[in-house]
Every structure is written in C-alpha cells, then in structure tokens.
Amino acid sequence: MVENRSQLNSSYDEQGYFVIRNYFNPSELSVLRNVILKFHQLWKDDNQDFYQEDAFNSSLITGSKYLEPDDRVKLFNFISCQKLMAVVDSVIPTKPAFMNTQLFFNPFNQQQNSFWHRDCQYDHEVDGQKKAIEETQVLHLRVPLFDELGMELIPGTHKRWDSDEELAVRQEEKGRHSNENLAGGKEINLAAGDLLVFSADMIHRGLYGLDRLSLDILIFDPAGNFADYVDDDCLPDNAMLDKISDPRLFVNTLELKSLALS
C-alpha cells in the first residue's frame, strides 16, 4: 500500500495512477452507499429507456434533481473528507477544484462493450488532445461501493502520445474497434473500500462484471480552464457550504466560475 504523500505523487507522476487498498472503513462506506443507492434507484426509475438501451453510467450525482439537501451534504462531506483531500492535495497541491461526479454500473444491455478512451478525446481533435495531455490535469477518484473488476489502464499514457495501434483502436479508425485488447493494458481489480486515482487523459477502460457500482469524483487543476464544465446545480449553496467540514474544493470551483464571468 502506498500512503506517503511524496510516494503518491511520484507513482502518479510516473504511472498516471495509484491504488490505496482498504482506504475506507465500513462505516464510511455505509454512509456513502446509502446515499448513492438512493440516487441510483431514482435515476434508473427516471431514465428507464436510456438505462435499458445504452447506459453504463450516470452523472451529476451531487445535483438537486434526485437527492435531498441532507443527503447532498453527506455526499459533499464524503467528497471533501480528510482522506480524499490528502490524496487530492498530493497530486494537485494548489487550489484543486471540484468538477463533477459520475456513477458507473454494469450496463443492463449485455451487448454493450467497454471501450478504450482518453477523456479529452470527446472535446478535442488529435492536436487538442495532445495539448490537453501536456497542459492540463484532471483526476478521477474511483470509489467502488462493492467488489468489482475495476479498470484497465495503460500506465504512462498520461504523459505520452498513443502508439499507432492505440490511436486506431480508441478512435475506431482503420477498421479497428475500441473494445479490442491493447498491449500494455493493466487490469486493476478493486474491492469495496479501495481507492483508485488515475489521470482522465491516460488511455483507460472500465471492466464490466460483478456488482460494479463505483462513484467517480472528478477534480481539476485550475491551470486548465474547466470552470465552464461545472454544472452550478452540482455545487453546494451557502447553507450547505456551512455544513461541509473542509469546503475548499467547492469554494475553489465557485471562485473560478465567478472569475470566468467577470
């Protein structure tokens, strides 16, 4: 287990990810599970067609659509708890900012395959992707609520461009498909209580199976301008901020959003 701040930082720097096993205790997990299972049921009821045909995740978990203020505060307090802030601060030491949350589950439609990608490929063509890899930093903090197969990552790709094969597969070019196996993929199986931290811009894919239900928290380095990506409704209001023990992550985002408007 890697725990020390500089070790975490150098693992992340070299590999693009690290895992801390057994990081959350049963009572921390049970508070989180309670809130997330409520969200997930309401979300599924409200999105039945999408859930049954295409979905493998939901997002905006901290928003007001499905959760009551008390549960949102519990979730905000989990996201910014000491254990997670220690990890976030080790990778983004200056003003880390909250971006969003996602919840990954097994697709109901068993024909769906998991797919290799870098997150930045959905916003940029190849030149923009290269720039994003060099200049910006977005972190995924994955918190599995149950044991799951986890993720497959290609270590080091947070800092290097694709091989010809990686590019063809993840962009589905030259007759290749994004679910093909890639050399260098490392499977990271996860158990409830583990924490996986990885770079959004490394080449990765989810592994479907077991009881997969994973909360994914996205955090960004303010050097990259992502404030516009943040949905206002997913941030705490003033009354909620008063109930969050360490609200830095959210305050940083609110400040960046107000700077962007001025």
Ligand X SMILES: O=C(O)CCC(=O)C(=O)O
By beta-carbon proximity to ligand X, the closer residue of 99 and 227 is 99
Under rule CB under 6 A, residue 114 binds ligand X: yes
Choose between 75 and 244: whose C-beta lies nearer to ligand X: 75
Nearest residue (CB) to ligand X, 59 versus 241:
59
Is residue 139 within 8 Å of 170, Cβ to Cβ? no
Task: Take residue 231 and report the two structure tokens written for it.
Answer: 């949905």
d(CA 48, CA 207): 23
Residue whose CB is less far from ligand X, 43 or 104:
104
**Of 104, 220, 226, 250, which one interacts with ligand X (CB under 6 A)?**
104
Establish if 216 lies at the interface with ligand X (CB under 6 A).
Answer: yes
Question: Which residues ranging from 222 to 261 are in contact with ligand X (CB under 6 A)?
Answer: none
Count of chain residues binding ligand X (CB under 6 A): 8
C-alpha 167/C-alpha 142 separation (Å) is: 25
Token pair of 200, please?
């959004």
Q: Are the C-beta atoms of residues 154 and 185 closer than 8 Å to each other? A: yes
CA dist., res. 102 & res. 59, Å (int): 4
Q: Is 144 in the site for ligand X (CB under 6 A)?
A: no
Exactly one of 56, 76, 116, 226 binds ligand X (CB under 6 A); that residue is 56
User: Whole-number minimum distance, CB 63 to ligand X, in Å?
Assistant: 18
Beta carbon of residue 108, minimum distance to ligand X (angstroms, whole number): 14
Phi, psi (deg, nearest 5) at residue 107? -60, 140
67: exposed, middle or buried (Cβ count in 10 Å: 0-12, 13-18, 19+) = buried
DSSP code, position 234: G
Minimum separation from the CB atom of position 61 to ligand X (A): 13
Give the binding site for ligand X (CB under 6 A): 56, 104, 114, 119, 140, 204, 206, 216
